[in-house]
Amino acid sequence: MKRNLISLVIAILAITTSAFAQIDDAKIKALRKAALEEMKYAPEDAHKDYYEKMHSRIPRKLDVELIDVQDGVKSSTKAPLDVPADMIYPGEFDEVQAIMMTWPYITRTVSGNQYASQMFEGQGMTYSSQTLVPVYSVPDVSNNKTTKLFRELANGIQQNAEVWINIWNAEDSVTIKQHMLNFGTPLNNYRFFINQGNSFWYRDCGPVGFYYGDDDQIGLMDFEYYGGRPLDDLLGRKIGEQAGFPTFTTTIEYEGGNILVDGLGSLFTSTAVYAINKDANGLYYLNPNSSIGYSQQSKTRLTETQIVDSLKHLMNLNRCIVLPELKYDGGTGHIDLYTDFFDESTFVSTKHPDVMANLSDPIKVEKNMDSVVKMFTSAPFGSTYYNTRIPLPAKNNGTWYTSQSEYNNTYTRSFSNHTMVNGAIMQPMFYSGNEGDVAGNQAALAKMQEAYPGYEFVEIDVRDFDGYGGAIHCITKQIPAENPVRIYHYPVRWLNTTEKETNDVWLTATVQNKSGIENAILYYRTKGEENFNNISMNIYDGNIYDAVLPINKDLAADTIEYYISAKSNNGKTITKPMTAPKGYYTFIYGTEVQGNSDYIGLDCMEDIKAINLGEFYPNPAQNSTKIEITQGAKADVPVKVINLKGQVLLTTTIKKGQTSLELNTSEMRSGNYWAIFGDNTNVSIKKIVIVK
């Protein structure tokens, strides 16, 4: 397993008596001091070429001997990693306690003081070589565009959550804090971690946080990272140890930029995850018997079925949706370069300009998003996902890319590659002052403010990352909040009251906290009003709450703004959307209403009419339970079984004419569950109690 390989590497490091161990500490200190002094006078474009070569999104591939390291091999014959059965991977729109990042580092050879990249601690290579030599590293604190980006990012994060900064040496904390202070953004809400590293792409190598257990404990999943960055691959385990979170290390290779979850057991990813697990190239590791000092682990190739099954197990997924990867996005194929979630039911994705519509990647984005909203439904109530659009960033002069290769090699820009931090978004932008496509960026920002209502956008010029295949999202990682209060809600968008004549709209939400819920309240107002009215939501059943939103069905068109607030028994309050009351859902209704902006669909909820249901028997149940359907179903009806946390545990369909439904409950633990019949426009809910 990967942990055994880590132990092997540590053991080799401990017994190595090569020249690397003989480097004089005094010389290293002198070199570091001189490098930091030099940075005081570095120009704005300092180190640009260095970052492009040494810190590219994907590490360069080396001609290295592949060796079958038995303790580190991925093998389908090995038992799967033992993980908690009730894991919940929160959406990135959920509350966080911290955002993890690092600082950009400059590495140079001890002899000759040439630019280099660090492979192992104190050992690295120049770009023109792949032989290990002694190296030293210092945080880049010159006033160039890269450090300006990281400086603004750290400051933006700390205004909304704690910023976790991993540094390579303990003394670097003083250097970085002084650098932040010098530019008027002192660190005041931060935590340093000290671990040697390779680069700054922490989205991909950092641990993936989840909740588990009745007390919503936080755990971390540590996937395997690119073979060429073995120190960054160790970060998941080390951060877990230092933060006090249990960490589960797997040999499945997976980058965080290709993980998009809705918080309810659905994973959206791309076929890039297949390619990296089908090859035989594993992690680089120190090997004193090699002529260059290291080798590369050979791993077992996995099939697509094995990969999907592994992800479902490791992330407790109800479904794993693998979409065709893009080919001209900088080389990663990651899904975060063109789409994101606003909440558990709403995608926000890139809209390419008409002049690029016939290029292969824009066509693929349209097909991927079209299939997502037409073929899949959001949990737990089973209605279709929504997709709203934000534009692709243009070039600095406002013109568009004439070919896929021009975009891929020089730009790879995306507004979607941002990071949500509670009520704020760290937003990549592509202008500064009067430089760049000012009008285009400001128009795009206005569109994003509509797509993410109420969020504060912290604008960060990321043009220094052009061509890297990533931006803000790719260098940050969410750490879930303690004591989460979850609100899952499928918002109403619009309603034509001629087609559906009604004076009220039924709203539901799944609300959960480990201590229980003291109250859930619906706040609403007619557009133009200053103050919100409020209605206490009732317990429909279990942790499902409902309320009736009053409307005037005779109006030609009107707009209601609303949000939901929930308070736990242990005193914590969360709103949905998180930015309420600044941000809220917008519901348009009336006799002439045909839609709401980019949204389509009918969103009013009512009790299901397609079938007449009895009650489950036996109930309490142990291994199975059955419900009768009076007179048979009049149409196919989707059925989902959810637990107290809103996770979908089982899905099935009642076929037209079917007169009963039996559910297999043998894999469910003792507790309360709910079977949801129908979708968000037509729903009935039945309680199931399991006793083992």
Q: What is the mean pLDDT of residues 474-484?
A: 98
pLDDT score of 650:
84
Q: Which CATH entry fits the domain spanning 612-690: 2.60.40.3080, 2.40.10.350, 3.30.750.24, 3.40.50.10490?
A: 2.60.40.3080
Please write the tens of the pLDDT for every residue from 22-38: 567 899 999 999 999 99
Segment 172-188 shows an average pLDDT of 97
Supply the DSSP symbol for 617: B
Whole-number CA gyration radius for the chain: 27
Which of 106, 141, 148 lies closest to 463, judged by CA?
A: 148
For position 610, what pLDDT does the model report?
A: 55
> Does 547 score more than 60 pLDDT?
yes
Out of 136-145, 492-501, 508-517, 617-626, pick the least confident.
492-501
Q: Answer whether residue 17 shows pLDDT above 50.
A: no
Examine the pLDDT at 20 and tell me if it is beyond 50: no
- E strands along 569-636, which residues? 573-576, 585-590, 612-613, 624-630
Return the minimum-mean-pLDDT range out of 110-119, 168-177, 567-576, 588-597.
588-597
Q: Is the pLDDT of residue 595 over 80?
A: no
pLDDT reported for residue 597: 53
Nearest to 682 by CA among 582, 571, 607: 607
Whether residue 379 contacts residue 266, with contact meaning beta carbons closer than 8 Å, is answered with: yes
CA 74 – CA 47 distance, rounded (Å): 38
Residue 99, φ and ψ in degrees, nearest 5: -120, 130
Checking phi first, is residue 110 left (phi over 0); if not, alpha (psi -120 to 50) or beta? alpha
Q: Do domains 2-480 and 486-590 have the same CATH topology?
A: no
Q: Which residues of 621-645 are buried (b: 16+ CB within 10 A; e: fewer)?
A: beeebebebeeebeeebbbbbbbbb
pLDDT for 92-151, tens place per residue? 999 999 999 999 999 999 999 999 999 999 999 999 999 999 999 999 999 999 999 999
Confidence label for 332 from pLDDT (cuts 50, 70 and 90): very high
- Kindly state the tokens that stand for 591: 């006799």
The pLDDT of residue 296 is 92
Least confident range of 12-16, 36-40, 251-255? 12-16
**Mean pLDDT, residues 598-623 taken together:** 65
What is d(CA 229, CA 244) in angstroms, rounded to the nearest whole number? 24
Q: Are 555 and 496 in contact (CB under 8 A)?
A: no
Cα separations in angstroms, 199 against 59, 324, 410, 677, 684:
9, 28, 21, 49, 51
Is the pLDDT confidence value at 269 over 80? yes
Its CATH class, for the domain covering 2-480, is alpha beta
Taken as a whole, the chain contains a residue count of: 692
pLDDT band (50, 70, 90) for residue 70: low
How confident is the model at residue 463, as a pLDDT?
96
**pLDDT, tens digit, for every residue of 305-314?**
999 999 999 9
Are 299 and 436 contacting, i.e. CB atoms less than 8 angstroms apart? no
**pLDDT the model gives residue 596:** 67
Q: 223 is written with which tokens?
A: 């996937």
Q: What is the average pLDDT value for the chain, to the nearest integer?
A: 90
Query: Which helix (H) or strand (E) element contains residue 89?
Result: none
Mutual orientation of helices 172-182 and 145-158 as an angle, nearest 10°?
A: 90
The rounded distance, in Å, linking the Cα atoms of 443 and 205 is 33
Q: What is the mean pLDDT of residues 484-492?
A: 93
> Three-class SS of residue 238?
helix
The region of weakest confidence among 43-47, 324-328, 442-446, 457-461 is 43-47
How far is the C-alpha of 578 from the C-alpha of 205, rounded, in Å? 28
Domain boundaries defined on the chain: 2-480, 486-590, 612-690
pLDDT tens string 378-414: 766 677 888 999 999 999 999 999 999 999 999 999 9
- What are the tens digits of pLDDT across the range 148-173? 999 999 999 999 999 999 999 999 99
Q: Please list the alpha-helical segments (H only) found in 258-380.
A: 272-278, 304-315, 360-375
User: Looking at the whole model, is its pTM more than 0.75?
Assistant: yes
Of 2.60.40.10, 3.40.50.300, 3.40.50.970, 2.10.77.10, the CATH number of 486-590 is 2.60.40.10
Q: Are 277 and 307 in contact (CB under 8 A)?
A: yes
Average pLDDT over residues 601-617: 60
Lowest mean pLDDT among 68-77, 125-134, 628-637: 68-77
Identify the weakest region by mean pLDDT among 161-170, 204-213, 368-377: 368-377
Instruction: Give the pLDDT of residue 16.
Output: 41
Quick one: which H or E segment has residue 505? strand 504-512
The answer to whether the CB of 348 falls within 8 A of the CB of 427 is no
CA–CA dist 598, 389 (Å, integer):
8
* Beta carbons of 151 and 187 less than 8 angstroms apart: no
Dihedral sign computed on CA atoms, order 325, 329, 333, 339? negative
Q: What band does 680 get if pLDDT is binned at 50, 70 and 90?
A: low
Tokens encoding 441:
């960026």
pLDDT in tens, 74-104: 333 356 789 999 999 999 999 999 999 999 9
Q: In this predicted structure, what is the pLDDT of residue 10?
A: 44
Per-residue pLDDT, 144: 93
